[in-house]
Amino acid sequence: MKRFLIVFALVLLAILPSAAAEGPFNHAVGLVVIDPGHGGHDPGAVGNGLNEKDAVLSIALKLRDLLSDDGIEVVMTRDSDVFVELEQRCVIANSALWPEGKSALFVSIHANSSEASEASGFEVYTARNDKVIDFLNESTPAGMGFRFASLSREKASQECALMSDRLGRAIVDSIASGFPYMNRRGLKEGNLYVLNCTAMPSALVEAAFISNPEEVLSLGSDAFAVKMAEAIESGILDYSDSIR
């Protein structure tokens, strides 16, 4: 199967050289894979009467609706209280067919927790810049092969990492603008499975600390979920506008 994908990609490259030459990530965003963390029997972090899985799903569903209203396709790794393995989340993302002439992003949403109840604020993670992704694998849709055929796995991974950092910075700036009172913990690199194994620029948002008695009051509210979804979407749109 993998050999077929590679051969198919090379044939498409010969037919469509200009599309491949532009680079797979240098297009406006047409698809966002939204990944609400945890779910089902896995509540995630639990604190002050709130489960992480519920808070992040609320944000994710609102983000889905905002992006859809703006004409961006959305794929959800879960849209209800179900458990999805980490590997399957990546398969869902990597199986999605990007809209023609557009690029795709993966955004995972979580809530933070700490033994120190005073820990507060938001932060955004991207994968380590030295990660190497296999962009042509069993999950790659047949129509996607030409996008990566002109690049080595290492080169494509480097470009993906650079765009992930760019996405992460845009989301950090947007959340900081929407929540000026929150502690800005910044952009960080993390060895996180869903970031390491998705074949597209990706970021993981830690929206607030569920372990903080003050922040959890906001985190569990519909008003916070709406505002956080708006901030994340604004960051995605800023990122997209910057590469048009």
Please give the mean pLDDT across all residues of the chain.
90
CATH superfamily of 2-16+30-242: Zn-dependent exopeptidases (3.40.630.40)
Q: What is d(CA 208, CA 229) in angstroms, rounded to the nearest whole number? A: 13
pLDDT at 211 over 80: yes
Q: Could you tell me which residues are beta bridge partners of residue 106?
A: 33, 202
Q: What is d(CA 139, CA 124) in angstroms, rounded to the nearest whole number? A: 26
pLDDT at 4 over 60: no
What tens digit of pLDDT does each residue of 165-186 get? 999 999 999 999 999 999 999 9
> Which residues touch 42 (CB under 8 Å, ≥6 apart)?
53, 83
pLDDT at 121 over 90: yes
Q: Could you tell me which residues are beta bridge partners of residue 103?
A: 29
Residue with tokens 């296999």: 134
pLDDT of residue 150: 79
Length of the chain: 244
DSSP 149: T
What average pLDDT does this structure show over 4-13? Answer: 44
pTM of the model: 0.90
Which tops the pLDDT comparison, 9 or 225? 225
> Which residues touch 204 (CB under 8 Å, ≥6 apart)?
107, 108, 109, 110, 124, 125, 126, 190, 192, 194, 195
Label the pairing between strands 103-112 and 29-36: parallel
Q: What is d(CA 112, CA 188) in angstroms, rounded to the nearest whole number? A: 14
Q: What is d(CA 199, CA 10) in angstroms, rounded to the nearest whole number? A: 18
Structure tokens at 141: 């849709």
pLDDT of residue 2: 47
Q: How many CB atoms lie within 10 A of CB 97?
A: 14
pLDDT of residue 8: 45
What tens digit of pLDDT does each residue of 29-46 get? 999 999 999 999 999 999
Distance of CA 225 to the CA centre of its chain: 17
Structure tokens at 214: 């003050």
Q: What is the torsional sign of CA 152, 154, 159, 160? A: positive
Identify the weakest region by mean pLDDT among 57-71, 110-124, 130-144: 130-144
Which of 111, 50, 60, 32 is CA-nearest to residue 225? Answer: 60
| Helix spans in the chain (H) | 2-15, 17-21, 52-69, 86-95, 145-148, 153-178, 193-196, 215-219, 222-242
Q: Would you call 148 exposed, middle or buried from its count of C-beta atoms within 10 A (0-12, 13-18, 19+)? A: buried
pLDDT at 18 over 50: no
